[in-house]
């Protein structure tokens, strides 16, 4: 069994760390939030007082942080006191599961390599239900040898593990996935809002489209209309789940990537704007499926 340091125990990291404990690993946890650390301790993790303390003496370090700046700050570089890369023992494998920009992923991987540490990025898809059930899809970028070492750990938190290529490739696939999710989520929200306004029960639309050509993950597994997907944030006052602010970040990353390679993204751009408006309306801390409330006229 391995010694694992886990940093970032929020909506996703908390249940992922709990699953590593259930699999028999010794997990040491750190987060800036005391509440998140307490929940991890209740799930069987040991508490670390800092990221550096969490990084020392581990076989593997996993992180699940909000965005690129957090990941760059936590990992740091060789010689940067208090950083993960400086504090980790030689031979420790680094796995960052956060969704971040490709450039940050590549620069952190380069810093790890300079210190002689193996690293992969492994952003995920599947949401909080997938994190709790250990059925996430792990979208991995990094050297093949590091991927093979990371795989047994990724298979505990995920149901499917895909090696996409070198450093940055996992993040590239992940932001395309989330741009497609943002577009389909808004599409489902529009359909649900329209059917209700036409005087027809949204459950009927769900039943028909689930079996038909309008089907999507957002429709069946994460419906934005309360009561149509058991356990979805819509039935829980849009408590995340996956915060709107995270989706605003991910769609902005997709647009930035599109601009960098000259690919027009008309619907991705519209979705990014919608999620920015959602945040500006003060709902960025709510689940992204709550975007349906931006469409409701009554």
Instruction: Report the interface residues with ligand NAD, using CB under 6 A.
Output: 7-13, 30-33, 36, 51, 64-66, 70, 73-74, 98-99, 124-125, 127-128, 240-242, 246, 250
Residue with Cβ nearer ligand NAD (8 or 158): 8
Q: Please say whether the dihedral angle defined by the alpha carbons of residues 243, 10, 135 and 85, taken in this order, is positive or negative.
A: positive
Residue with Cβ nearer ligand NAD (195 or 232): 232
Residue with Cβ nearer ligand NAD (16 or 205): 16
Residue with Cβ nearer ligand NAD (31 or 118): 31
Nearest distance from residue 73's CB to ligand NAD, in Å? 6
Residue with Cβ nearer ligand NAD (196 or 220): 220
| Catalytic one of 174, 249, 296, 298 | 174
Active site residue 174: yes
Residue number of the CB atom closest to ligand NAD: 10
Nearest distance from residue 27's CB to ligand NAD, in Å? 15
Nearest distance from residue 12's CB to ligand NAD, in Å? 3
Nearest distance from residue 94's CB to ligand NAD, in Å? 15
Nearest distance from residue 152's CB to ligand NAD, in Å? 21
Positions annotated as catalytic residues are: 174
């Amino acid at each position: 069994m391995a010694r694992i340091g886990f940093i970032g125990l929020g909506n996703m990291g908390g249940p992922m760390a709990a699953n590593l404990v259930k699999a028999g690993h010794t997990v040491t946890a750190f987060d800036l939030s005391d509440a998140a650390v307490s929940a991890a301790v209740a799930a069987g993790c040991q508490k670390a007082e800092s990221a550096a303390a969490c990084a020392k003496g581990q076989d593997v370090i996993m992180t699940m942080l909000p965005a690129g700046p957090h990941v760059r700050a936590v990992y740091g570089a060789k010689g940067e006191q208090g950083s993960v890369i400086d504090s980790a023992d030689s031979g420790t494998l680094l796995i960052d599961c956060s969704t971040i920009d490709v450039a940050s992923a590549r620069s952190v991987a380069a810093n790890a390599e300079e210190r002689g540490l193996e690293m992969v990025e492994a952003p995920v898809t599947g949401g909080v239900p997938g994190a709790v059930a250990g059925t996430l899809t792990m979208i991995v970028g990094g050297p093949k040898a590091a991927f093979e070492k990371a795989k047994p750990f990724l298979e505990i938190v995920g149901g499917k593990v895909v090696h996409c290529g070198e450093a940055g490739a996992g993040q590239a696939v992940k932001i395309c996935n989330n741009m497609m999710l943002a577009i389909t989520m808004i599409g489902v929200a529009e359909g649900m809002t329209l059917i209700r306004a036409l005087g027809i029960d949204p459950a009927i639309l769900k039943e028909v489209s689930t079996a038909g050509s309008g089907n999507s993950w957002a429709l069946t597994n994460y419906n934005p209309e309360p009561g149509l997907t058991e356990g979805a944030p819509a039935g829980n006052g849009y408590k995340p789940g996956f915060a709107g602010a995270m989706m605003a970040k991910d769609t902005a990353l997709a647009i930035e990537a599109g601009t960098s390679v000259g690919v027009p993204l008309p619907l991705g751009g519209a979705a990014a704007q919608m999620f920015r408006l959602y945040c500006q309306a003060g709902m960025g801390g709510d689940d992204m499926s709550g975007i349906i409330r931006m469409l409701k006229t009554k």
